[in-house]
Amino acid sequence: MRSPVEFTRKLVYPADVETVLDMSLDAGFLAERFARLCRRAPEIRIDAATATATVTGGLDPELLPAQARALVPGDLDMTFTETWEGARAHTSLSVRGAPVALSFDSTLTDSPAGAERVVGGDLTVSVPLFGRRIEQEALARFNLVVDAELAAAARWLDARRP
């Protein structure tokens, strides 16, 4: 099995940390966040007691690299889980039967530009021979997903501004 690929990314949301935390555990935002990733409306569960959001649904096959998609029979059922402890989160994304898994930790801090979220994590691809190519494509697709999340966040925040 290959070693995980480590990655980092910084996101900036046009809001303060408290607003971003509220947004991250809002079912409406999560529906918007995952609308473009899932083939149908995802199931969203919020556990306020543990500050955990869980999203399950059928992932759009185009989001997986072609080499990984070819190895997954049937539907691409994904599970996304994000647990917040204050301004720190642990996030994981898995796709049933897919040779790709993602997990990362992040921290939110206030800055003059807004809430900055520094993300650092691991991408694991368990495919011999083609693993490196799949990793590169998966990271590129992860960046597209992050960009879509920032756009969804901007829409969610704009809709709540006076």
The CATH number covering residue 139 comes to 3.30.530.20
Residue type, position 13, single letter = Y
Q: pLDDT value at position 69?
A: 65
The strands making up 114-125's β-sheet, listed across from edge to edge, are 5-13, 114-125, 100-111, 88-95, 77-85, 52-58, 43-47
**pTM attached to this predicted model:** 0.86
In whole angstroms, give the CA distance from residue 83 to residue 62: 27
pLDDT category at 77 given cuts 50, 70, 90 is confident
Q: Backbone phi, then psi, for 31, in 5-degree steps?
A: -60, -45
State the pLDDT at residue 2: 57
Check if the beta carbon of residue 126 is closer than 8 Å to that of residue 1.
yes
The number of distinct structural domains making up the chain is 1
Least confident stretch, 5-9, 130-134, 141-145: 130-134
For residue 49, what are the domain limits? 5-160
pLDDT per residue over 95-130, tens digit each? 887 777 889 999 999 999 999 999 999 988 776 555
Burial grade of 153 (CB within 10 A; 0-12, 13-18, 19 or more): buried
